[in-house]
Structure 1
């Protein structure tokens, strides 16, 4: 790969230097670029000698040279030792007048150097990667500032080449170790002497390990982070143990001078009846270094924004300096999981980068922005009033809502934001962020795509939700849930057609709880999938006990949790429930909520199509209450819609509700769907619904939801109105 020079020569550079930069920019076909750097250095200083060397293990390894020959750079070590990124240039105009170099072999013998100009190759932080030097057997009186500047810039360019070489060398060593063996193994006898070392261990140390070597000498005390602990760990080899003991970090220095970190485990070893110890070693140097860099890097690699820790440090400063007013906002994407699941993580990463760009573009001058991890971002507003903060955040929501195209995929970004103000004199950053998080979660629970301001009641609600979640886990373990069944009636024949299974919680202290007291918390709990499977199987099993009405078997309707549509397990769970209970597929109806219908990931549509192919019916619950209803009918294969009780309650007195009911029935008729109305409480409501063309109804007019035994008795005693 040729060296690319992205800047013009400095003002005052020689014509030859300008020509050389142009030639170097256009040259192609070099494999590593090191020779290009050296050639450029020679032309810049008009000198016959130049070299580029990599610093590794405290030694300089020549990567490319001209005029130096097969000699080491160590004789010039007094000059090169002083090079750092803070003192990047060392100049020797005439070695003969400097006593420190008069006896240097490179000065006294070929190539008889007199003039040396060396510059450091800078790495990240304070690291020095190597040295670029130019030398001449002829002394010089001075060096032009422009030439020296160009040499430094050339050294900066060569940093990337050296980093690549180091990475290639590391990968090559790692590959050799992997091919030799996964782990190094050293066997030590009871006297602490090495009796065996496999090739992988010798590869790690960089040299053969002779039999009889003392194990403690392989890991010198001065290299260990805890010398006493290491000595004790090596000494306590516990010959009686059969399994490996806890790992321990050991440090070594290879023959090449590299400091390496080994993750070591030990276990008992018996050879010839004599107890000993085996050390299993893995070189984790690069892995630990990468982990360290990721942890200490102030910015997020994906978005370039500061990390959580950096923003908290800034927030701590504002709080310590009593900057007021002071606000914090947390922003979380509402549908990001769907983007990852359907379009892939590459598109997901691009969406996060887009969100970061949009947030940065509209960021007020004094505000600070960071990525908190995942799909969450944080903003800090020092010296900004709450009204101004909220105006900006509403503009952010509007800006994020603009559709975007990512790799030919149309993506709609929706977000929830929570904001909290510092209103106490000694508030800590953790408390302020926690308040903003509570407000954001409140915004998400309220439907998302909105801004919420922290209120003290939110903390009480959070504690209540936490306590409720723990109780739900206990209820699942102790089988406190039960199913009740509400009959569904054909409005034209008056006969029962089926029943909806409704979950109840037999709380040991609060008695029988209806779903409105716990169903939302259960839907977000980790036990929801378990409860969902239980409902499916128990409802199918109970339906098999129902009597036959006029030669017809009743159907059972079951509500699904959104989590049940997340993978292919639903199909297997439904098949298992039907097979284990003997229920016919045609008697089962699964009901969807709007949360499921709003998903545009294709998973729900595919699963429901497979269910319908088995003869299972699908219904859409609470139809007409959300904006997703019409689009859902085009995407999701359903058989029936349910009119929400909120429209049925005032259908006789409210013209708006009556118009909505008529519209739902018209839409359903056009889609060839059956319709059932919920919450029917009076005969007049039932009559009007029948006249409008509604097929079925359920509600207190017929019966409340009943336990299984009571429901069976109700069915046995039910008489169609007008028929004795």
Structure 2
């Protein structure tokens, strides 16, 4: 393809616009570029031809040493040179690559979509990280880059490069650079359009081939009922040569019956037509099935219609014959089956289909044994055949299986059919589905003794079984163990994902519990997320072994409705006869021990002791007091500083809740937070903490203190709120705090309970500008594949690794690994629990960004922290 000639101007001077201009009679630069934008070669030539032309054109127009077209790959993390023209040698090259990891500032400038005007490229903020990889090796001193777009998306950059020392870019060069970048964008748009057109043409060819091989007749007609397309099968059905159908007025066809329906579709009286009719075509009587619908363009304007035509003669004939055969019995409320003497089915009525799920077409030719489930004893079938083969009538019950696998009960009466000579020619069975009747009987028993959700024994049956086991244990002088199991974190799952998912989780837990015990043991559900396991003839070691097995198996992740969920069991154990001698006392003591297991950290088991009754009473008193504390707002926030390792300045604070009880004084969080979580009060407390921290931070800023973010721990209950981002946005609006001064901390375990939902929630918060961090990092089981998807800003090293970092090489290695991993993910890393200068020195030496702990200051009330902040950052 001929290309327009290169511009006739000489190179630009170094520091001023070109005064020489073009040769006499040559067009101006603007006019030349405007003409070039309309040139056919941009729309028709390949990019491999256009790129070299445009880079050379740009070099001549702007009078620069080098011009390159660089394009992003799919990841937007690498740009590759599509063509680079060097004026000195008049040569082109391509293939060079630049990675974001090597020059992040340059990539950030490109992604902004703004031009990069670097008079001094070696020191310009956007280009100086190109020095080693690109600028210095090529001796480049100045850069002028303009974004290249395709379909509104940043696709690359047109880069003008000047060798030698720094130099300014004048206004005319900048305007020309914009115009040339637009030409590159235009070329990309044309190339994309050509590719789309080629794909569309290929698709049209494929669809035409499919239509030709379609076993049904298909036509397209315009608004005047003229055929614009027909496949061969349509021509075969109506008996007209295909070549005669093109542009044929359908009013001239022999069969006029479908025309009103086709016209109604065009007129909009029916959006779609489906019907069947009898036709006489080419001397043949046949049934025709017709489906027609309108065809609209992209603007909704009517183009015509499409019709699908099928010869339905054989199907209609079969339907009529079947109807004649079954009319006598098809209204019967009973199932009727007729077989030959070998038991091969020749006829079934509609009730058979409704009962078994097998259509008549499927059943005919099979034997009734297709319904066998294996649940009916073999002797029943032997008696059946012995009776009817001798001419007698048999009556009995089958336990059969429907087509969908469902078992059902059926009462049957089977009799022989004889001819005039009394010879047996067929057998007829009249049957009734009695499943519902038997199900109601079983249901009454099931509801009385079994849990409806899990199918496990309920409290009534559990009481009966334990009573029997206690009597046997008393008689045989054996030990019986009762394990009371409560699921940790179940309420969070149930509240956030709904009762349906919660029920599915309980069913899965029930199955795992059954897999942990012997057939002779009992697993029961009391209700909610509480289960009981009864171990007959179980010593203390045996009960411990089963408890450990339950903790291991139930603690493994569940996959429910696409969610990966984790719950852990807290188990209390009481023993007969050591702890109690009756069911109610054993259950109460095991329940008490279970709460002690929760208090001790959850995901554990605890044997009952007499002292636990006192602890249970104290816990009840504490829970009641905590409910009053929520109503009376007896909570206060203390703030612990977070310090930058490099500067020593306070760059943040963590808000920590304290309970100031009017009589008990300051109640430590370790004592009341577990109670708040178990009682469901943690959500209300967490909402108050979030509001108060934002309010106080805004108050500090209005008082003139340095603006710093305040970190607030987010509970699992809050994270699972479907509209959390809206609640946070409203809270920030009410308090007047900018989102960048709020940091939300989430524990590693919390974010992984439902990782997919967490990703969606955190992205919404991140889009608002709220900072996000992972607390207690290293103590959970984060999936690194998920961690890199979370839009978090910071990792917090758990204090358990910091505490012995000076003396314990393993703890130090873990902390260093977390720092390295955080930095590789471009995250800041903060260490909590820093109490000594030695700990601080090790963390600082290994690149930890921030620190928090008693070495800098204990958590302090708001007024003390304000003074601390003003003094520390003075």
TM-score range, shorter chain: 0.5 to 0.7
The 1:414–1:447 alpha-carbon spacing in structure 2 relative to 1, beyond 3 Å, is same
What is the SS of the residue equivalent to 2:615? Answer: helix
1:294-373 equivalence runs, <5 A: 296-320=447-471, 322-323=474-475, 324-334=478-488, 355-357=509-511, 359-360=513-514, 363-373=517-527
1:29 aligns with 2:349: yes
1:350-429 equivalence runs, <5 A: 355-357=509-511, 359-360=513-514, 363-398=517-552, 415-424=569-578, 427-429=581-583
The structural deviation recorded for 1:414 is 5.3
Contact in 1 for aligned 2:579/2:589 (Cα 8 Å)? no
1:617-628 equivalence runs, <5 A: 617-628=771-782
What is the SS of the residue equivalent to 1:418? Answer: strand
The 1:500–1:333 alpha-carbon spacing in structure 2 relative to 1, beyond 3 Å, is closer
What is the SS of the residue equivalent to 2:700? Answer: coil
Which among 842, 865, 872 is matched to residue 688 of structure 1? 842
Which among 641, 645, 651 is matched to residue 805 of structure 2? 651
The 1:621–1:513 alpha-carbon spacing in structure 2 relative to 1, beyond 3 Å, is same
Q: Aligned partners of 2:841, 2:703: CA distance in 1, in Å?
A: 23
The alignment yields a C-alpha RMSD, in angstroms, of: 4.6
Q: Aligned partners of 1:404, 1:304: CA distance in 2, in Å?
A: 19
Which among 407, 431, 434 is matched to residue 160 of structure 1? 434
The 1:290–1:459 alpha-carbon spacing in structure 2 relative to 1, beyond 3 Å, is farther
The 1:294–1:709 alpha-carbon spacing in structure 2 relative to 1, beyond 3 Å, is farther
What is the SS of the residue equivalent to 1:606? Answer: helix
The structural deviation recorded for 1:581 is 1.4
What is the SS of the residue equivalent to 1:577? Answer: helix
Which among 677, 689, 701 is matched to residue 831 of structure 2? 677
1:640 aligns with 2:782: no
The structural deviation recorded for 1:714 is 2.1
The 1:483–1:670 alpha-carbon spacing in structure 2 relative to 1, beyond 3 Å, is same
1:713 maps to what in 2? 867
Contact in 1 for aligned 2:579/2:608 (Cα 8 Å)? no
Contact in 2 for aligned 1:2/1:27 (Cα 8 Å)? no
The structural deviation recorded for 1:313 is 1.7
1:570 aligns with 2:734: no
Query: Matched residue pairs, number?
Result: 484
Quick one: higher RCO (CA 8 Å, sep 6+), 1 or 2?
Answer: 1
TM-score, scaled relative to structure 2: 0.48
Contact in 2 for aligned 1:623/1:629 (Cα 8 Å)? no
Which among 651, 664, 681 is matched to residue 527 of structure 1? 681
1:518 maps to what in 2? 672
| Bigger shift: residues 609-618 or 431-440 | 431-440
How far does the alpha carbon of each residue in 1:223-253 deviate from its partner, in whole angstroms, 9 at most, with x for none?
xxxxxxxxxxxxxxxxxxxxxxxxxxxxxxx
Structure 1 stretches lacking a partner, 5+ long: 6-16, 37-116, 123-128, 136-150, 168-288
The 1:403–1:3 alpha-carbon spacing in structure 2 relative to 1, beyond 3 Å, is farther
Contact in 1 for aligned 2:565/2:753 (Cα 8 Å)? no
1:474 aligns with 2:748: no
The 1:320–1:565 alpha-carbon spacing in structure 2 relative to 1, beyond 3 Å, is same
The 1:348–1:483 alpha-carbon spacing in structure 2 relative to 1, beyond 3 Å, is closer
| Bigger shift: residues 320-329 or 666-675 | 320-329
The 1:601–1:313 alpha-carbon spacing in structure 2 relative to 1, beyond 3 Å, is farther
Q: Aligned partners of 1:457, 1:628: CA distance in 2, in Å?
A: 38
| Bigger shift: residues 617-626 or 300-309 | 300-309
The structural deviation recorded for 1:640 is 0.7
Q: Aligned partners of 2:632, 2:493: CA distance in 1, in Å?
A: 37
Q: Aligned partners of 1:708, 1:551: CA distance in 2, in Å?
A: 12
TM-score, scaled relative to structure 1: 0.57
What is the SS of the residue equivalent to 2:753? Answer: coil
How far does the alpha carbon of each residue in 1:433-489 deviate from its partner, in whole angstroms, 9 at most, with x for none?
223333444445555554443333443333222211111111122221111222222
1:580 aligns with 2:739: no
2:255 maps to what in 1? none
